[in-house]
Amino acid sequence: MIVTQLLINGIIAGSIYALVAVGFSLIYATNRFVHFAHGGFVTVSAYLIYTFFSLWGLNFYVSALLTIIVAGFLGWLVYKLVYTPLKKRKASNAVLLIASVGLLILLENLMLLIFGADVKSLGYIKIKKGIEILGGIITPLQIVIVVLVVVLLLILWFFMKKTRLGKTMRAVADNPNLSNIIGINAKRICYLSFIIGTALAGIAGILVALEQNIEPIMGTGLMIKGFTGAIIGGVTSVPGSVLGSYLLGLVENFGIWFLPSGYKDAIAFVLLFIFLLFKPTGILGLRGKYKEQKV
Amino acid sequence: MIEAYFIHLLIIIGIYIILATSLNLALGYTGLLNLGHIAFFGIGAYVSTLLSVNTSLPFLLIFILAGFVASIFGYLLMLATNKLRGDYLALATLGFNFVIYSLFLNWTSLTRGPLGIPGIPKPSIFGFVFQSNLSYLIFVAVIAFLVVGFLHLLLKSSYGKLLEAVRDNELACKVLGKNTFKMKWQAMAVSAFFAGIAGSLYAHYITFIDPSSFSLYEIILILTIVLVGGLATLKGSIAATVIILLIPEVLRFFALPSSILGPARQIIYALLLILILMYRPRGLFGKVDLG
């Protein structure tokens, strides 16, 4: 059944996009600038786990933990070295966006310089024969990835809704000035959400490395998808960006019914275009007025 | 040998001067945050290539058509994104670039996709074929001179001042009864036209094009040039084109393998872009801030 297969493919793709999108959207919600280099951190994390696990021969779980920690640390470093000085100078959002595109290119090419252009693979889990569900085929690894992403998203949802830090983050996202007035250190929250967002990019990097080949330019493609998912779902809303990502995964995979598969990226961008033009706040995003405020 | 190398560098510099000054018209003077300029460059290159490989139209006509088709896309892009501002406009135009790029890559029946199109003929005007690189350099130099001269006169005129007024305060311009949308699409179309002819010059010089010449990396290069030179200054864009294109040439003296040279170039450009935004946001001669 081609429909089930496309559905399964859409869900798998959507899961990875969602993981990229939530990190991006967490950063955008509090910091209010487009952090395009988020995809670069996914790439860096994939190479980190490759280094720890395949080159240094560490235990997989230790490698994964190390990758997430190092990714978070690198996020902090970049925020401190690049974004904080720009924000202090009251640079416009456009400047931050262009700087982040520069950062993305920088990270990708650093990986290219260090590891070379040939693709690497992790080879932790051997590719097994797929299981058939209603005529569609899914490998056990893909099931693990989808389940893991869903669990992670639930944890994140719980974190944002129930914990004190999560609530504070949502308060800053909602109204930075007001949260400053009531004594929330909005700058610290911005830092923290950037670090958590980048750590999520770390997890995304690990999962992508498990399933696909690792190559220097992988981040740009994932960034486009995650970012598109975030925008169409509503970039300031974490659940919205999850919804948008799954929607994108499905639209893309059903889209190749009509178009060659090479057009996947174009489909994503056409969707993005439509939303930017007609509903820039996305499906679940905040409405109007918030754009003027800056931390 | 060394002469040939210099002539090659000068041709590339000439083409990029056209690209940089035309982007500055949109980005610097009119305040349109266009990150899709390379798409116009690519459209010009592909239109020119396809017409000269598949038809027997005279080169000058093809050359003008390359610019014209690009400017139509410029108009359409402006039409579609008229409501967007700031980083949203930047994203939409960046998206436009990706869509055009994937068309080049996937519309294989027309563009041969990643294989590219080889054997693009050297241009000939009234029977004179620009076969040697020296004659091509003179051709590029004349075109670049005409483009910069045109832009200079345009931007000095009252029309140019109006464009800057649209950038500084669109609402005020509207209040004065100016059709700001018309001015914006005109600026974008002119900017795209010149990018298109730059693409044509590029295609007929290299005689081979493939989609990779019009990727995200190229946007970084052209943005770096315009921002290093400064917004709303033609002088700055020209100076920055020369400087930025010559910097990685220094690397050649270290005899690095090409697997290192490529990424090293991109790293230099990306770092330059970030550093200029951080420490000298107005670049060399810039008059206004970005966004």
User: Which of the residues A33, A269, A278, A291 would you substitute to probe the B interface, choosing the one with the greatest number of B C-beta atoms within 10 Å?
Assistant: A269
- Token pair belonging to B179: 């059709």
Q: Which DSSP category does B129 fall into?
A: E
Chain B residue numbers with beta carbons less than 8 Å from the beta carbon of A86 are 277-278
Q: What average pLDDT does range B168-192 have in this prediction?
A: 87
Closest approach of A273 to chain B, Cα-based (Å) = 6
B223 at the A interface (CB within 8 A)? yes
Chain A residue numbers with beta carbons less than 8 Å from the beta carbon of B223 are 98, 101
pLDDT value at residue A90 = 82
Q: Which of A45, A6, A3 is nearest to A23 (CA)?
A: A45
pLDDT value at residue B150 = 93
- Which of A220, A263, A276 minimises the CB distance to B216? A220
pLDDT at B23 over 90: yes
**β-pairing verdict for A131-133 and A136-138:** antiparallel
Q: Following CA atoms A18, A24, A30, A34 in sequence, which dihedral angle do they give, to the nearest 10 degrees?
A: -140
pLDDT value at residue B216 = 80
Instruction: State chain B's mean pLDDT as an integer.
Output: 87
B103 at the A interface (CB within 8 A)? yes
Closest approach of B289 to chain A, Cα-based (Å) = 9
Q: How many independent structural domains does chain A possess?
A: 1
Q: Do B81 and A105 touch (CB under 8 A)?
A: no
Q: Do B88 and A106 touch (CB under 8 A)?
A: no
pLDDT value at residue B282 = 84
Element spanning B33, H or E:
none
List phi, psi (to 5°) of B117: -115, 115
- Give the integer Cα–Cα distance in Å for A256 and A272: 17
- Token pair belonging to B157: 């005129």
Q: Is the ipTM of this complex over 0.90?
A: no
- Token pair belonging to B234: 């033609």
Chain B residue numbers with beta carbons less than 8 Å from the beta carbon of A262 are 102, 105-106, 113
The DSSP bridge partners found for residue A132 are A137
- What distance lies between CA B169 and its chain's CA centroid? 26
**β-pairing verdict for A131-133 and B128-129:** unpaired
CA angle A199, A213, A132 (to 5 degrees): 100
pLDDT value at residue A28 = 86
Q: Do B91 and A34 touch (CB under 8 A)?
A: yes
Residue of B nearest to A235 (CA): B88
pLDDT value at residue A290 = 45
B213, B19 in Cβ contact below 8 A? no
pLDDT value at residue A286 = 60
Which pTM does this prediction carry? Answer: 0.87
B270, A102 in Cβ contact below 8 A? yes
- Token pair belonging to B102: 């994937």
- Give the integer Cα–Cα distance in Å for A236 and A230: 8
The DSSP bridge partners found for residue B128 are B125
pLDDT value at residue A287 = 53
- Give the integer Cα–Cα distance in Å for A132 and A250: 19
User: Which of the residues B278, B279, B288, B290 would you substitute to probe the A interface, choosing the one with the greatest number of A C-beta atoms within 10 Å?
Assistant: B278
Q: Do B105 and A92 touch (CB under 8 A)?
A: no
pLDDT value at residue A271 = 83
pLDDT value at residue A285 = 66
Closest approach of B260 to chain A, Cα-based (Å) = 6
Which domain CATH number covers A159?
Answer: 1.10.3470
pLDDT value at residue B217 = 82
pLDDT tens for B208-243 read: 888 888 888 888 889 999 998 888 888 889 999 999
B115 at the A interface (CB within 8 A)? no
More confident residue, A31 or B67: B67
pLDDT value at residue A293 = 40
- Which of A82, A95, A113 minimises the CB distance to B290? A95
More confident residue, B192 or B83: B192
Q: Do A109 and B216 touch (CB under 8 A)?
A: no
SS3 string, chain A, reads CHHHHHHHHHHHHHHHHHHHHHHHHHHHHHHCCCCCCHHHHHHHHHHHHHHHHHHCCCCHHHHHHHHHHHHHHHHHHHHHHHHHHHHHCCCCHHHHHHHHHHHHHHHHHHHHHHHCCCCECCCCCCCCCCEEECCEEECHHHHHHHHHHHHHHHHHHHHHHHCHHHHHHHHHHHCHHHHHHCCCCHHHHHHHHHHHHHHHHHHHHHHHHHHCCECCCHHHHHHHHHHHHHHHHCCCCHHHHHHHHHHHHHHHHHHCCCCCHHHHHHHHHHHHHHHHHHCCCCCCCCCCCHHHCCC
Residue of B nearest to A117 (CA): B259
Per-residue pLDDT of chain A (295 residues; tens, 9 = 90+): 778 888 888 888 899 999 998 888 888 888 888 888 999 999 999 999 999 988 888 888 999 999 999 999 999 999 999 998 888 888 888 888 889 989 999 999 999 988 888 888 877 766 667 777 777 778 888 888 889 889 988 998 888 888 888 888 888 888 888 888 888 888 888 889 999 999 999 999 998 888 888 888 888 888 888 888 888 888 777 788 888 899 999 988 888 777 777 777 778 878 887 887 777 777 776 654 444 444 3
Q: Which DSSP category does B132 fall into?
A: S
Q: Following CA atoms A8, A14, A15, A20 in sequence, which dihedral angle do they give, to the nearest 10 degrees?
A: 160
Residue of A nearest to B95 (CA): A269
* Residue B90, helix vs strand vs coil: helix
The DSSP bridge partners found for residue A131 are A138
B134 at the A interface (CB within 8 A)? no
Closest approach of A277 to chain B, Cα-based (Å) = 7
Range of the domain at A116: 2-292
Would you kindly state where each structural domain of chain B is located, as residue ranges? 2-212
Q: Do A34 and B87 touch (CB under 8 A)?
A: yes
